[in-house]
């Protein structure tokens, strides 16, 4: 009886050891997409009033957990019954991410004058109210869904040769770590200024801590601006990477150019195509309604 109990404990220990190894490998394979995920989500979680940053981030984090609860069983079922479908799901997601990236670029260059450039983003959000906040949260959760699909599938691809239980545990651990890690770092980024002000107050505006606090306060606007650019580039790179890794033609496209540039170019081209289709669709809907379509 005792020997049987200890045998079960040995099996559990061996399983957990195996899961730890496979989780480390899967996390390493998803590191690139996690970096892009961080850039995209940090950019989407900024631009709110200071007292709304953490509540908004918590709403997005909860949405991310729900996304993964939806994605995990669907991906496992598709992988078991219809593995080819995963490729098409990824490609559709790639078009969505590319569209988001290109839309940001077009909006920056062609619709910049429609909004006063000197007005802070936080004030704009205050005027637009709770409805606009909900829209931004929904957009962030939708983007997170696409990125989560990519993370889950990459993690699963690293353990396909393992038993089903190992696959489920490994991918679930990676999914949880991705959400906690990414949004934990985002929370630290968006609260940098508060941490800086805290240090200034504690040090009574003198000494090293005061200088560090001022540095944190001064750095936050620069980081937010940088994240807007990095997040857009990340959207194009992730989408381009999806096309490169799932469509054979693009896998060997422009071999003399570095893969990063190739993926960004493909993502940009896919985004232009998606944006054009979207703009034409808006115009057609406007014609059917008997009134001019709003500018995209």
Nearest to residue 66, comparing CAs of 142, 171, 159? 142
Q: How many CA atoms, within 13 angstroms, populate the side-chain half-sphere of residue 144? A: 30
By the 8 A CB rule, do 170 and 19 touch? Answer: yes
DSSP 47: S
Per-residue pLDDT at 31:
60
Token digits of residue 164? 């089903």
* Residue where the block lists tokens 């969505």: 96
DSSP 292: P
* Residue where the block lists tokens 């306060």: 217
Most distant CA atoms of the chain, gap in Å: 80
Per-residue pLDDT at 134:
83
Question: pLDDT 10s digit of each residue in the chain, 296 long?
Answer: 455 544 555 555 665 666 776 777 666 656 656 666 676 777 666 666 667 778 888 898 999 999 999 999 998 898 888 888 888 888 888 898 889 889 889 988 886 655 544 444 444 445 556 777 888 888 888 888 888 887 888 788 778 777 888 888 888 888 888 888 888 888 888 788 788 888 888 887 778 888 888 888 888 788 877 877 887 888 888 888 888 888 888 877 777 888 888 989 999 999 999 999 999 998 888 888 765 555 55
Query: DSSP readout, 220-285?
Result: HHHHHHHHHHHHHHHHHHHHHHHHHHH-HHHHTSSTTS-HHHHHHHHHHHHHHHHHHHHHHHHHHH
By the 8 A CB rule, do 191 and 114 touch? Answer: no
Per-residue pLDDT at 271:
93
Residues whose CB falls within 8 Å of the CB of residue 195, separated by 6 or more in sequence, listed in order: 213, 216
Nearest to residue 155, comparing CAs of 282, 24, 54? 24
Per-residue pLDDT at 10:
52
**Angle, CA 181 vertex, CA 176 and CA 182 arms, to 5°:** 105
Query: DSSP readout, 90-121?
Result: HHHHHHHHHHHHHHHHHHHHHSGGGS-TTS-H
Per-residue pLDDT at 118:
45
Per-residue pLDDT at 272:
95
Per-residue pLDDT at 207:
81
Cβ count within 10 A of residue 49: 15
With H, G, I as helix, E, B as strand and everything else as coil, classify residue 159.
coil
Cα dihedral across residues 87, 182, 32, 275: positive or negative = positive
Phi and psi angles of residue 180, each rounded to the nearest 5 degrees, phi first: -65, -45
Per-residue pLDDT at 187:
83
């Amino acid at each position: 009886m005792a020997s049987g109990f200890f045998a079960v404990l040995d099996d559990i220990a061996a399983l957990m050891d195996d899961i730890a190894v496979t989780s480390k490998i899967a996390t390493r394979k998803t590191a690139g997409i996690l970096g892009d995920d961080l850039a995209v989500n940090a950019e989407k979680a900024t631009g709110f009033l200071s007292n709304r940053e953490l509540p908004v981030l918590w709403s997005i984090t909860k949405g991310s957990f729900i996304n993964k609860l939806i994605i995990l069983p669907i991906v496992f079922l598709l992988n078991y019954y219809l593995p080819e479908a995963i490729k098409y799901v990824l490609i559709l997601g790639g078009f969505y991410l590319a569209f988001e990236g290109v839309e940001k670029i077009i909006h920056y260059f062609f619709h910049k004058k429609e909004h006063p450039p000197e007005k802070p983003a936080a004030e704009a959000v205050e005027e637009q109210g709770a409805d606009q906040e909900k829209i931004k949260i929904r957009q962030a959760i939708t983007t997170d869904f696409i990125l989560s699909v990519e993370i889950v599938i990459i993690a699963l691809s690293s353990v396909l040769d393992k038993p089903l239980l190992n696959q489920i545990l490994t991918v679930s651990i990676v999914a949880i770590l991705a959400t906690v890690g990414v949004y934990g770092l985002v929370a630290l980024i968006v609260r940098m200024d508060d941490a800086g002000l805290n240090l200034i107050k504690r040090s009574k505006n003198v000494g090293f801590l005061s200088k560090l606090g001022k540095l944190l306060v001064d750095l936050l606007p620069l980081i937010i601006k940088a994240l807007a650019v990095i997040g857009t580039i990340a959207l194009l790179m992730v989408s381009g990477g999806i096309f490169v890794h799932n469509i054979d033609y693009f896998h060997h496209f422009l071999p003399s150019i570095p893969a990063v540039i190739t993926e960004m170019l493909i993502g940009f081209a896919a985004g232009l195509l998606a944006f054009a289709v979207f703009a034409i669709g808006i115009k057609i809907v406007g014609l059917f309604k008997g009134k001019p379509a709003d500018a995209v």
